[in-house]
Structure formats: C-alpha cells, structure tokens
Structure 1
Amino acid sequence: MDLPLGYYGKGETLHHSGKLVCKLQKSIYGFKQASRQWYSKFSHSLLQFGFTQSKADYSLFTKGTGSSFLALLVYVDDIIITGPSKSNIDSLKQFLHSQFKLKDLGSLRYFLGLEIAWSSTGIVLSQCHYTSTGFLACNPASVPMDPCTRLTATDGPELPDASSYRRLIRRLLYLTLSRPDITFAVHKLSQFLAQPRVPHLHAAHHLLRYLKTSPGQGLFFSASSLLQLKGFSDADWGSCVETRCSVTGYCVFLGDSLVSWKAKRQPTISRSSAEAEYRAMAAATSELVWLKQLLQDFGVSLHAPMLLFCDNQAAVHIASNPTFHERTKHIEIDCHFVRDKVTDGFIKLMHVRSNLQLADIFTKPLPSALLFSHLSKMAVKDIHCPS
C-alpha cells in the first residue's frame, strides 16, 4: 500500500519502484484480496470445528448426520445456518462469535434480496420488494415478451446512453433467481449489451410492465414434497436469426418443487432439431448429476433413476441407441455422456408431448395461456406484496 502524504513512520516498509510502501499485516475491506482472505480464514475455522466443505458447492459446509446435522451456507460475509437441532445451531453460533464479530438476525426472512415466507405447508421464495421498484404507473402486460417480437443486433437506432440499458438488464438478471417466467426474455435481452438499440429498450420496458402484474410472484417449496429428481429439457432449433444457433432450455424439480432452470444459446449450429434436443439433454443431465451430488452433502441419497423428459423422440433414440452413427458422428464427444448415464441407470429418458413440455418456457416467448399453464405446474405462487 502506498504511504499517505506526510507519513514517515517506523513501521515495516518495503522498497517498490524506488519508493517506500507499507506491508499490510491484514487485508483491508474493499481491497481485491480482502474477500478471498476473509473466506480463507472463515473456511479454515469451520474445518477446525469439524465441518466438511462440499465438493459440489464450495460455499456449503456440513457437519454430522441425522438429528445432529448442521449446514452452513456463506456468501462473502452473509451466512445461513440450518439444522434439526436448535442446541447444535446455538453451539455453532457461540463458536462463530468467539472467532468473529457477528450479528445474529434470527430466523431466516430476508437474504441477499430474497424474501422467505414460512408456513406449515412449505416455504415461498420471492423478491417482492426488489420487483416493486420502478414503472409503477405503467399499463401492465400479459406476457414477458411478445411472441411476435424478433429482436436483432441491427434493427433500430442505437441508444445514445447504453449504460441505463445495461443497469436495467443487470437488475433483471438478479430477478431471474426467483422468476423462471422471465428467464428467456432476460436471456434474449442480455445478448445486446454491447450495442443496445431502441427496440431492445422497448422490449425491456415491456418486461417491466409484465412484472407489474405480479410483483409478489415466487417459488413454493412444499414441506411434503417427494425426494425425487426429475428434469425437462427442450431446444428451439436455429431460433437465433443471426447465428442460427439453437436455444437450450431445461428445468429440474425436486418432487413438485422447481429447484433449477436455465435458458442458454448453444455454442454451435445443430444440423437438425434432434441434434439440438440432444445437446439440451446433455446440459440437463449435467445439472442432474450436480444436484444429486449436492443432495448427498445434505444426507439425501437417491437410489432410483432420475427422470429426464424430452419431447423429441429422435433425440431419445439417439441417447438410448448408440448405433445411430451417421446422425451423430459429428457431435462432440462430451454430449455423448448422456448415453453413459442411461446405460449406468443414472437417468431414465421419457418422452413427453410438446404441450406438456415445461422446459418450453425457457426456449421461446409463449402466449399467455400456455405460459401460465406451465407456471401452474412449476409450483409458482403469487403472494401479497405490501406497498
């Protein structure tokens, strides 16, 4: 650290580029290394206390089994502690207080912009207050994105100030943590951050008008849900008019509760809809593998094969039958690990009709009737949001 003007102390100093600098004995808040040093010290203390660091998520620490189980999740300096035994939780709090200066906020109600509502039937996770800011006097919209909208990188005049558009998309990206219904729209709008144009801003404003209709919408996690993982994968073949790449969409349920979802443009062009669907299945299988590992850290072992639903029978046959050489010889090897998981009994592929394909919501803009039909099957709830 550079010496302040007028300071000539006798502390330890080093020569750097012909001038004196300070050697820091501890990290200062705000420096690039500060968060890393804090995490290193915090994780080391937990490991000494008997915790095990998860390999599936390095911010998760677990300890014990059964009634003595403890789980701790950390994000920088925000911490969540849970477990079936209150005495064990209190013991952990006392240990943390002896090592660090902490503030106990009590039962989990608010965490990093996420609002948690508890009841005897389950938990609702939402971002009510985060959603309620802005565009309060506008007319509401029925869908996040008009199905007739076709956005490109060259249509319309450029925005004179691109920073406002980028700030808006950054906020909307954080909102997708609890709003699967806007995931595809935000995915599409985020592709134009380099040179946003007027039609892109109008589409973003349309999305804000949609959010006005249900600011309290969130995800419901049932207390009586079955511990079974199942996924839906889908792809919209060649939907990007500029690159001709397809869009991958998938969602994963733990019982009836939606726990993971994604919309992403595929990196390469697919020669057929079956190939695009096969790549989407590979992405969904990878997510299922990770979630199974994460559940094991919580002491949940899944023995039955996990179900993966796809509406393309050709893609299901490609994953189940390795003799389809002519149609798959050009596909990257990493996609074929779906076949290995099917052979090992890790997943079981199931065909589903297109009108029941829940992952369709993450691959294209849908009309309101089909959109809300899918959302009703995703345990999405609309709670009252106080003004």
Structure 2
Amino acid sequence: MKLPQGIQFSNPSLVCKLNKSLYGLKQASRQWFAKLSHSLISLGYKQSHHGHSLFTKTTQSSFTALLIYVDDLILAGNDPKEITTVKNYLHRTFKIKDLGDLRYFLGLEVARSKHGITLCQRKYAIDLLSDTNFLTSKPVPTTMVRSTHLHQNDSKPYSNPLLYRQLVGRLLYLTNTRPDITFAIQQLTQFMANPTINHHKAINRVLRYIKGTIGQGLFYPSNYIIHLKGYTDSDWATCPDTRRSISGYCMFLGNSLVSWKAKKQNTASRSSSEVEYRALAIASCEVQWLTYLLNDFHVIFKTPALLYCDNDSARHIAANSVFHEKTKHIEIDCHVARERLQNNLFHLLPIPTSEQGVDLLTKALEPSTFNYLLPKLGVLNLYSLAWGVLLGTGFSGSFVFSFQMLSCVHKEPEYIDSEA
C-alpha cells in the first residue's frame, strides 16, 4: 500500500494499518448475528432450532419472544417488565432506537383492533405503482387470464430484461402479504433469464391488478380456536416447456393464514395421482415444521393437524400401503406423507374441488371463482368501505398483546470484538 502524501517513517520497516468498519466486509452479517445472539443467550433467551432468528424466554409467569431481521427486531410478550429489561439491556449494549408499538416493519403495515390484526403492504404497493407509472392504470379483476400459458420463446425478446428482473424481484417481496398474486409471480420468475414481450405484458397485468387492490392484505382474527390445518392441491403437467406440474399448499393456524407456497415440481409425473401425492408430501413437511416452530411458542397441540386434499387416489396412497404396485416409480422421499400420517401427525380429509382455496396458487382462474376463493385465505382489503362497516369502528393502535418494536442501528464499532 502506498503511503499518503506528507507521511514519512523513520523506520522503513513500518507499514500502515488499515482500520475498516465492520460494514462492507463479507463476514459482517455473520459477526453481527453472532454477537447479538451471544448477548441474548447470556440474558436467558433460547435460540429456536426451527427458526434461527427467533429467541424466546420463558419463566413461571411470563413469555417473551424476540424476532430478528438483520439489525431490526420485534419484541413481544405478556410481561411489560421483561420487555423493558431487554430493551434497556440492548440499548446499553448496542445503542438501539425504540420505535414503540408495532405499526410498520420492513414495509409491512400493521393495523390492530379488538377484532384482530391485519398485515398489508399498501405503501410498498403504491411506491411500486408510482415507479412503474401504473397509478393511473385501469384495474383488472385477476392477476392472469385463464387461457394464458406462458412459456419460453412465445414472442420476441423483451428489450429491457434488467427492468423485468427488477419488477419481479419487487413483486416477490409483495407476496409476503399477498397470496393472491403468488401463482402469477411464480410463473413470471421462470423467465428471468430471457423474458419476452408476452412475459412483460403478463407482469403489467399483475401491476394493474395491484392497482385495484392496493390495500389488500391478511386478516388475523382474535377470536378463534388455535388449531393447525392445511390444504394441498396441484395442477398436472401445466408447464408447456417441461410438462412439470405446479403444487401448492396453504397452512392455517385457526382461521389465520400463516404459510403458503406455489412451486413447480422438480420432476415430471406420470399421472395426476402422483402429482397430488407429491404435493401432499411437501405439505406434510410444512405441517411438521410448523408443529416444531409452534412448540417454541409453547403452543402444544393435543389433537393432530388436519390436512385437506381433493384427490381420492392421493389420499388412498397415503393411507394404504397396498397401493405399492402403483407407486413403485415414485421416489422414496414422497412416502414421508404416509409415514407422518401413520405417526398421527395429521389427519387426511377430503374436500370438494369447488371449495379448494389452494387453486389460487396452482392455476389461473375466472374472476368469479377467484373472488369466491380469495376470502377463504383470510385476505381482505382494510381500506374497503364494506370492511369498514363490518368491523364497526375500524382498526386502531390497541391490541390484546403487548408488542414492541426495536431498531438496532450499527453506528459505532466499539462493541465488536477485536478478533472480528
């Protein structure tokens, strides 16, 4: 390294030592999380093995949970003294900023009332529409036209693939509170490398749909019985390029949607029964993970979860081993569904296809069917007049739990170990 002008060393063997902040280094995030985790564990918190960013502390009279996203934290619990204690400790150690009751976190807007809590990303959606000049566009009733089947090379290449990738990335974050756009975004992400004009038209339709549903989000009612249930479905060989199938699931805690997914399966399947069975296996893994995670919150289920599937063959394969001849070609890992069913982790129940809300995650639907199934996922528009009348006085800052949000901002590097 060359010496700056004006600096001279009498000893030619001396060199300059570069002092660099922790920010910008490759190991920065790892070192920060290690330091924060060690501090919380020393305070009596226990790190979850099923969600490594979750820390909990349990005493005879209180329960406190702390969730971390980089240097932003959400703190919740039923003991105000413990919440104050951990906030003061974090402030002494890291110089945090207390933002008060949880109302806005990483683009997620939280509204609370005696009826429950809603999560939406209204401001994020408005910013997205403003940046793309779609604030004045004409809304559409669904994210995709039912007859649309996107595939590679279906039209001329789009002139600005970088813009397409940026839009898909921003829409992916919007799916955190918008299961209604999940299937459309799943389709659009498959063409990130070489988008075409038709793919760009499809993403424009999604933006027009968001224009008409800016305030839409998830509603979590406060008066329901805590019980885990899920729905699983698939659409056979719908990909024109690979003939692979789309599988999806939705997981509910009571009447609250807590987990959902739409994904193209890794291999092509020989029958619709095999497709449904694979989707069932994926959903059973999610049920088991949620069961473990809820145990960290001391939510212990005395009765097995309920898993609904609208395919008779898939249910029979999972429940009856005599179907071995029909399933010899299916990978062993798919039979975890049968193993978990036999271990009484969940009960497998039928459901009419017309009532299967997961259809929203596996295929494009007509507007009437789309709007009929959407409320089944707990999706509502808080800014709709109809919901304001239904919920009476609307949502306010009061809530049945004591939620606090902290923001840890790294300003000074003095708390970093010298070895780091």
Shorter-normalised TM-score: what interval?
A: over 0.9
The SS at the match of 2:358 is: helix
Displacement of 1:78 in angstroms is 0.4
The SS at the match of 1:139 is: coil
The SS at the match of 2:315 is: helix
Matched, 1:30 2:24: yes
Matched, 1:74 2:73: no
Quote the residue 2:216 is aligned against: 217
Q: 1:42 aligns with which of 36, 40, 48?
A: 36
Contact 2:50 2:293 in 1 (8 A): yes
Quote the residue 1:90 is aligned against: 84
Distance in 1 (CA, whole Å) between partners of 2:315 and 2:124 is 41
Distance in 2 (CA, whole Å) between partners of 1:75 and 1:230 is 27
Quote the residue 2:97 is aligned against: 103
Deviations 1:115-156 (CA, angstroms, capped at 9, x unpaired): 000111110000001112320111110101111111111111
Distance 1:95 1:235, change over 3 A: same
Quote the residue 1:165 is aligned against: 164
Quote the residue 2:57 is aligned against: 63
Contact 1:250 1:284 in 2 (8 A): yes
The SS at the match of 1:324 is: helix
Distance in 1 (CA, whole Å) between partners of 2:151 and 2:316 is 35
Unaligned runs of 5+ in 1: none
Quote the residue 2:197 is aligned against: 198
Deviations 1:312-350 (CA, angstroms, capped at 9, x unpaired): 000000000011112111111111011111111111100
Distance in 1 (CA, whole Å) between partners of 2:7 and 2:276 is 67
Distance in 2 (CA, whole Å) between partners of 1:86 and 1:157 is 60
Letter in 1 for 2:114: S
Contact 1:165 1:193 in 2 (8 A): yes
Displacement of 1:225 in angstroms is 2.0
The SS at the match of 1:248 is: strand
Correspondences of 1:262-273 after superposition (within 5 Å) = 262-273=261-272
Distance in 1 (CA, whole Å) between partners of 2:152 and 2:198 is 10
Letter in 1 for 2:229: K
Distance 1:333 1:100, change over 3 A: same
Contact 1:184 1:361 in 2 (8 A): yes
Matched, 1:150 2:144: no
Quote the residue 2:394 is aligned against: none
Distance in 2 (CA, whole Å) between partners of 1:374 and 1:90 is 43
Correspondences of 1:183-332 after superposition (within 5 Å) = 183-332=182-331
Letter in 1 for 2:235: D
Higher mean C-alpha deviation, range 224-233 or range 26-35: 26-35
Distance in 1 (CA, whole Å) between partners of 2:66 and 2:3 is 40
The SS at the match of 1:80 is: strand
Unaligned runs of 5+ in 2: 385-420
Distance 1:90 1:334, change over 3 A: same
The SS at the match of 1:166 is: helix
Letter in 1 for 2:82: N
Displacement of 1:306 in angstroms is 0.6
**Runs of 4 or more above 3 Å deviation:** 2-10, 20-24
Contact 1:114 1:126 in 2 (8 A): yes
Q: Calculate the TM-score normalised by the size of structure 2.
A: 0.86
Distance in 2 (CA, whole Å) between partners of 1:3 and 1:366 is 65
Contact 1:184 1:263 in 2 (8 A): yes
Distance in 1 (CA, whole Å) between partners of 2:318 and 2:2 is 63
Contact 1:232 1:308 in 2 (8 A): yes
Quote the residue 2:113 is aligned against: 119
The SS at the match of 2:154 is: coil
Contact 1:248 1:280 in 2 (8 A): yes
Contact 1:60 1:73 in 2 (8 A): yes
Distance in 2 (CA, whole Å) between partners of 1:83 and 1:206 is 42
Distance in 1 (CA, whole Å) between partners of 2:27 and 2:251 is 36
Distance in 1 (CA, whole Å) between partners of 2:118 and 2:323 is 45
Contact 2:103 2:110 in 1 (8 A): yes
The SS at the match of 1:252 is: strand
Distance in 2 (CA, whole Å) between partners of 1:369 and 1:197 is 29
The SS at the match of 1:194 is: coil
Distance in 2 (CA, whole Å) between partners of 1:121 and 1:186 is 31
Contact 1:27 1:37 in 2 (8 A): no
The SS at the match of 1:335 is: helix
Contact 2:3 2:16 in 1 (8 A): no
Distance in 1 (CA, whole Å) between partners of 2:8 and 2:320 is 75
User: Which one scores higher on RCO, CA 8 angstroms, separation ≥ 6?
Assistant: 2
Q: Calculate the TM-score normalised by the size of structure 1.
A: 0.93
Deviations 1:355-385 (CA, angstroms, capped at 9, x unpaired): 0111111100111111111111122110129
Higher mean C-alpha deviation, range 197-206 or range 148-157: 148-157
Displacement of 1:36 in angstroms is 1.2
Distance 1:244 1:84, change over 3 A: same
Displacement of 1:23 in angstroms is 6.5
Letter in 1 for 2:70: V
Distance in 1 (CA, whole Å) between partners of 2:17 and 2:233 is 56
Quote the residue 1:342 is aligned against: 341
Distance in 1 (CA, whole Å) between partners of 2:207 and 2:3 is 47
Distance 1:146 1:47, change over 3 A: same
Contact 1:311 1:352 in 2 (8 A): yes
